[in-house]
A and B are shown apart, each in its own frame.
Chain A
Amino acid sequence: MKAKVASFVLLGSVTLGAAPAYADTSGVTDQSSTTVETSAVDDSTAASADGGQLFLASDEQYVQTFGVAKAAQRGLTYEAVAQSDSVADSAVADDTDKSVSQADSADAAAGAATVDDAATSHWSVVKFVAHDKDGRYIPTRQGNRDFGWVHFSGPHNIHDEKVIKAAVNEHPEHGSTKTRKVYGAVLYDTLGIILARVKVIAQYHWETKDHKYKLADTDDKIGVITAYCEGANKCPDALNRV
C-alpha cells in the first residue's frame, strides 16, 4: 500500500541541508535520506523548533503520505488491525456528548500534570478526549501513578495533549485486541525523517485489564493507559513543541 492522502496542505517551508539540533535525540533517525517529500499531511500538526520545522502525524497518516516502503526504511511499520467493534455514528454522537461534559468538568483541573494534580483530582477525571478513525471514544484521564496522564506525562516526557490526539487519529494498530487499542504517532521533519515514534495504549473498556480501576458506567471507557516513545525511556522535548 502506498496510498497518498487526497489533499495535502503545505504547512511550512522545506528546509534543505539543515542539521537540526534535535536530530540526535532519537535513535530512529535516517540521515541517509535526501529526498524531499511532501512536507505534511492534511491534519497533522506542525511547528518550528530548534531551527527546523517538525510535524506530528499518526502512523497511518505518515504511511499514507510517504508510503509503506519509505516508512519501513525509516523504522515505521503500520498495520491496521481488523476490528469487529467499530463504532456506529449514533454511538459516536453519544460518546462525544459524554466526553464534552466530562472534559468541561475537568477543565478547572486541567493544565500541566503535576503531583499536585494527583493529590487534588480523582483518577477518573477526564483531561481531554479523542476519537479514533473508527469513531471510538478514547478519553485521557487524570489517572495516578498507576496509569493515565499522571503516569505517563512526567516519566515519558509527554506534556502536550496534541501528541495523544495525533496518535489516536488512526485505525488501531497491530497489538490491539477487543479491549486494548494501540495507536501510534511519529514526529518527523521536513525531509520526512522520523525523530520519535510514539505509542499510545488505551483500554477500551469500563475497567482496566488488571481489574483494579473500574467505572460505574459500564458504557464508559477507561481510555489511555500509557504512552511512550519507542527506543527511549523519555520522549524528546521537541515532541511537546509541535
Chain B
Amino acid sequence: MPRRVEPGMTEHSMTWDETALSGLQAQLAHEMLGRATAFALGPEVRLVRGVVTSPQRSDVGRVVVWDGQRVDSSVAFDLPLTDTHGGNIPSGDLAAALRGALADCSEREVERAPRDAFGIPVLDASAAVHTFMAQPRFHLTDALHAAAAAFAALPEPDEPAELRLRGFLLLDEVTCRLYLDTPESEDAPPFGVDLPLRDEDGSVVVGVTAAHAALPVLLLGELERLRKDVHDPYCRAVYDLVDWLTGR
C-alpha cells in the first residue's frame, strides 16, 4: 500500500532514518518508565491524581492519589522533602514510602483528616516516610524504575550527551538489563548493561548512582572486559556489571 503524503509534506520528510527511529524508541522507553510502577495495594491500584506544593510548608510535597475512577476517592499525603540530617530524600524513596503510607492508612483516618480547598482529605505522612528511611523496603519494580530512570535523565545543558536509554527489561528477580546507546551509535542497535537489583542478602536495592557515573568512563575501554557471552536479539552486545558492582 503506497504511503500517503500530506499536502506540503515531501516524501523525504516522511522517511525516518535509523537515528530518528532510535529517538522515537528512546522516547517510548522514557514514557513507559512512568508505567513501570504503580501503587498496588493487593488487588487495588492507586494512581497519582496530582502533585502540588503544600501551601503551608515549602519543605513538604503533597501527592494526591485516587482509584482512577472516582475523584471523590482522592486522598492527599504530605511528604517531607528532606531527612532529619538535612539531606534531600530521593524522590524514588518518597514514592516507595508513600506506597507504605497508603497501605497503612485507614478509612477512619481519611474521614477525620482535614481537607484542602478542593475537599481532598490531607494526611501527614512524615512519620511514615522517616520510618521508611530508617528501614527501607522496596519492591523490585522500584529498583527497575530507578535503574532505568537514572539513564533516562537528561544531561545538564553544558554537559555532553553520553548515554541514552533505548529500552529496559527485568531479566529475572535479581537483575535488569538496560539498553543504551551513545550519540555516535544512534543508528546502530543498542548495547545491553546488566545491573543488580538485590544485594547479597536478597534485599531489593534501589539506585545506580555509581554505575550511572562510571559507565561513560568504563566505555573508554574497561567495559570490554565485562562483555557477557550471551545472545540477546534486542542488542548488539551485553556487558555484565553485576559482579563488578558487588565486588564478587
A25 at the binding interface (Cβ < 8 Å): no
B225 at the binding interface (Cβ < 8 Å): yes
CB-based contact A212/B207 at 8 Å: yes
Against A, the Cβ 8 Å flags (1 = close, 0 = not) of B195-207 are 0000100000101
CB-based contact B248/A233 at 8 Å: yes
- Segment at the A interface, from B9-17, B49-57, B80-88, B97-105: B80-88
B87 to chain A minimum Cβ distance, whole angstroms, is: 5
Against B, the Cβ 8 Å flags (1 = close, 0 = not) of A219-242 are 000000110101101100000000
Q: Which chain B residues numbered 142 to 184 have a C-beta less than 8 Å away from chain A?
A: 146, 149-150, 153, 156, 158-160
Identify which of A146, A210, A211, A231 gathers the most chain B CB atoms within 10 Å of its CB: A210
Q: A178-B159, A180-B213, A201-B217 are in contact. Are A157 and B207 (CB under 8 A)?
A: no
CB-based contact B208/A122 at 8 Å: no
Q: What are the residues of chain B within 8 A of A210 when measuring CB–CB?
A: 149-150, 153, 207-209, 212-213
Q: What are the residues of chain B within 8 A of A177 when measuring CB–CB?
A: 159-160
Q: A124-B87, A175-B217, A179-B159 are in contact. Are A213 and B248 (CB under 8 A)?
A: no
A174 at the binding interface (Cβ < 8 Å): yes
A203 at the binding interface (Cβ < 8 Å): yes
CB-based contact A233/B213 at 8 Å: no
CB-based contact A124/B159 at 8 Å: no
Q: A124-B85, A178-B159, A214-B88 are in contact. Are A225 and B150 (CB under 8 A)?
A: no
Q: What are the residues of chain A within 8 A of B160 when measuring CB–CB?
A: 177
Q: A145-B199, A212-B207, A231-B225 are in contact. Are A156 and B247 (CB under 8 A)?
A: yes
CB-based contact B159/A174 at 8 Å: no
Q: Which residue of B lies closest to A182 (CB)?
A: B217
Cα A115 to Cα B158 in complex, Å, equals 37
CB-based contact A211/B159 at 8 Å: no
A111 at the binding interface (Cβ < 8 Å): no
Contact check: which of A123, A154, A174, A199 meets B247 at CB < 8 Å? A154
Cα A203 to Cα B83 in complex, Å, equals 22
Contact check: which of B83, B213, B217 meets A147 at CB < 8 Å? B213
CB-based contact A147/B159 at 8 Å: no
B210 at the binding interface (Cβ < 8 Å): yes
Cα A216 to Cα B59 in complex, Å, equals 12
CB-based contact B87/A146 at 8 Å: no
CB-based contact B214/A226 at 8 Å: yes
Cα A212 to Cα B222 in complex, Å, equals 25
Against B, the Cβ 8 Å flags (1 = close, 0 = not) of A190-211 are 0000000001010101001111
Q: What are the residues of chain A within 8 A of B150 when measuring CB–CB?
A: 210, 212
Cα A141 to Cα B224 in complex, Å, equals 29
CB-based contact B210/A175 at 8 Å: no
Q: What are the residues of chain A within 8 A of B248 when measuring CB–CB?
A: 233
Cα A145 to Cα B204 in complex, Å, equals 12
Q: What are the residues of chain B within 8 A of A12 when measuring CB–CB?
A: none
A8 to chain B minimum Cβ distance, whole angstroms, is: 30
CB-based contact A225/B214 at 8 Å: yes
A221 to chain B minimum Cβ distance, whole angstroms, is: 13
Contact check: which of A146, A205, A231 meets B209 at CB < 8 Å? A146
Q: Which residue of B lies closest to A144 (CB)?
A: B207
Q: A154-B247, A233-B243 are in contact. Are A122 and B85 (CB under 8 A)?
A: yes
A140 to chain B minimum Cβ distance, whole angstroms, is: 13
Q: What are the residues of chain A within 8 A of B92 when measuring CB–CB?
A: 212
A151 at the binding interface (Cβ < 8 Å): yes
Against B, the Cβ 8 Å flags (1 = close, 0 = not) of A163-182 are 00000000000110111101
Across the A-B interface, give the 5 residue pairs with the lowest CB-CB distance, nearest first.
A155-B247, A210-B150, A146-B207, A122-B85, A226-B210
19 example contacts (A-B, Cβ-Cβ < 8 A) are as follows A124-B85, A145-B205, A146-B207, A146-B208, A155-B246, A177-B159, A178-B158, A178-B159, A182-B217, A209-B153, A209-B209, A209-B212, A209-B213, A210-B149, A210-B153, A212-B92, A213-B88, A213-B209, A228-B244
Chain B interface (Cβ < 8 Å from any Cβ of A): 83, 85-88, 90, 92, 146, 149-150, 153, 156, 158-160, 199, 205, 207-210, 212-214, 216-217, 220-222, 225, 243-248
Chain A interface (Cβ < 8 Å from any Cβ of B): 122-124, 145-147, 151-152, 154-157, 174-175, 177-180, 182, 199, 201, 203, 205, 208-216, 225-226, 228, 230-231, 233-234
